[in-house]
Amino acid sequence: MQVVKGGSGRGLGQLLMNRWLLVGVCLFLFLAFFLLRFPGEPNSDSNSQYHQIVTGRFNDWHPPLMARIWEALTLFGAGTGPIFAFDTIFYGCGVALLASLPARRGRWLCAYCMIFLAAQPMLLMMSVNIAKDIMMAVMLLLAVAIIGAVQEGLVAARPARTLCWMLALLIVVMAALVRNNAVFLVAPMLVFAGRPVLMARPMLMLALSAVSGVLLVPASNIVNHRILGASDAGAIRSLQIFDIAGIMVRGGDDILADLPGAQALTQDAHRCYSPIMWDTLAYAHWNCHVLKNVEQAIRDGGGASLSSRWTGAIRRHPLAYLRHRLTHYNSTLYFWVPVHHTEAVRKLNTAGNRGGSFKNRLLDQVRYSPLTSPVMMVAIALVLLPWIIAALRVSRDALLRVCAILIWLALIYTGTFLLVGVATDQRYFFFTTLAVCLALPLALSDATIRAMMRRHSALAVATVGVPAAILALTVVARYMLPPPV
């Protein structure tokens, strides 16, 4: 790499091209973030998990591993501080280790871009949350970094390599237990660790992820109940009632027709359903108790269970189910939605309705910028994936494999929400955003991908054009769709 002539420029360039300085800059950024935002910000989910720790009664409404880790961390103090430190350490160390890999090759611009993209305000604003989404993401990040470091040759001694493999596997298992849909990421991570050449076969990757994920769900339930000591809270009911109501408002009113008070149940489902989140069907905050009333009607009137009605509704009304899932997916990806669109659910609670005021529009542009929206991250990942697959077929470069697994994990994880998503919150896609932000500099600095882009310039233009078009549509929707009322 040629350094610009001139005393100050040469000195600065030589100073920046130091791996220890790079790691130091990264860790300093995350230390500063930790000190500024300590002790983190709890939400209703994490508050309920902390309540389980205090009472000693654990359930699996949220996967209990996070609560158990938090319980162990209370040795260092009460409240959210210790678990915020846990997340930040994993986050900072994962980014520092990953960024050191291209730096080792002399790809300094790539390395610094990875650090600053991973520490951008949008991601830091999300990571201040004490949430399973953040913990799962930083665990996967560190696992990818450890495996990538071993494959890059950063760890030479055989005992140390074995220890790294075992540590990475443990972290992957923990991540899969922290968030339910992360079980679909276990197989891709095993492919990355053991047979990375298979990442160039997209249908196989998707099949392995789907099959292994389905098989691991009951295994994770066994761990949650028998090892972690959590009681069954019936969390799947949120998905079931959400899908049932979504189908009912699209023509599937026969689902509950045999139950006592069927007309009232149907009216409540129509009144309370929102494609944004399932919560409007169950909580007193919205004056809706659809889930409770349906379960009571099933107990009083007999007939099929909630699970049977759910699967039967999907089977009898596949188009209504598809429309419901796609409408929710649009919401959760923040694609064709108005400003502050999650406020639409507050229309059932007048006191909480803030609407689409100028202040809320402005906050949306800061917190939920279209540039970093989940749909934008998915668009970038989708246009990068063909280039990465093509490059993997002619190159066995370790950094290219790191880039590939980040993109695969981002797409598979985001894809699971199409079938199991029940709410809308950008923090659900913290990992997606983080993975794409780290993969982008790796892809654009890869020699094989750059050579392919030069040979196929029209496709390279399309690679930029597709995300640009998605961004334009997202911005248009923000300003043209009517605000929630």
Nearest-angstrom CA–CA distance, 414 and 425: 13
Could you give the CA distance from residue 281 to residue 364 in angstroms, rounded to a whole number?
A: 26
Q: Quick one: average pLDDT of 12-30?
A: 82
Widest distance between CA atoms in the chain: 85
For the chain, what percent of residues have pLDDT higher than 70? 91
3 — pLDDT class (breaks 50, 70, 90): very low
Tens digit of pLDDT for each residue in 122-175? 899 999 999 999 999 999 999 999 999 999 998 888 899 999 999 999 999 999
pTM given for the model: 0.93
| pLDDT over 50 at 354, yes or no | no
* Residues 350, 374: Cα–Cα separation, whole Å: 29
Predicted pLDDT at 478: 86
The DSSP result for 19-68, as a single string, is HHHHHHHHHHHHHHHHHHHTT-B--HHHHHHHHHHHHT--BSSS-HHHHH
For residue 33, pLDDT over 90 is answered with: yes
Question: Is residue 2 very low, low, confident or very high in pLDDT (cuts 50, 70, 90)?
Answer: very low
Q: How confident is the model at residue 401 (pLDDT cuts 50, 70, 90)?
A: very high
Q: What are phi and psi of 131, to 5 degrees?
A: -155, 155
Considering only 96-100, 140-144, 289-293, 345-349, which range has the smallest mean pLDDT? 345-349
Q: Is the pLDDT of residue 188 over 60?
A: yes
Helix (H, G, I), strand (E, B) or coil at 287: coil
Provide the pLDDT confidence category of residue 419 given band limits of 50, 70 and 90: very high
What is the rounded CA–CA span in Å between residue 215 and residue 252?
31
Per-residue confidence band for 351, with pLDDT thresholds at 50, 70 and 90: very low
Please determine, for residue 1, whether its predicted confidence score (pLDDT) is greater than 50: no
Higher pLDDT among residues 409 and 372, named by residue: 409
User: What residue spans define the domains of the chain?
Assistant: 8-229+367-480, 236-332
Q: What is the mean pLDDT of the chain?
A: 91
* DSSP run (H or E) holding 331: helix 318-332
pLDDT tens-digit series, residues 238-278: 999 999 999 999 998 889 998 998 999 999 999 999 999 99
- pLDDT at residue 139 in the model: 99
118-134: per-residue pLDDT in tens? 999 889 999 999 999 99
Give me the pLDDT at residue 364, please: 57
DSSP 150-209: HHTTS--SHHHHHHHHHHHHHHHHHHHHHSGGGGGGHHHHHHHHH-GGGGG-HHHHHHHH
Decide if pLDDT at 12 tops 60: no
- What local confidence, expressed as pLDDT, does residue 340 receive? 74
pLDDT of residue 348: 45
Res 10: pLDDT: 59
pLDDT in tens, 59-94: 999 999 999 999 999 999 999 999 999 999 999 999
User: Kindly report the CA angle at 148 between 144 and 152, in degrees rounded to 5?
Assistant: 175
Report whether pLDDT(34) > 60: yes
Percent with pLDDT over 90 in the chain: 79
Would you state the pLDDT for residue 484?
64
Helix (H/G/I), strand (E/B), else coil: 263: helix
Q: How confident is the model at residue 346 (pLDDT cuts 50, 70, 90)?
A: low
pLDDT greater than 80 at residue 17: no
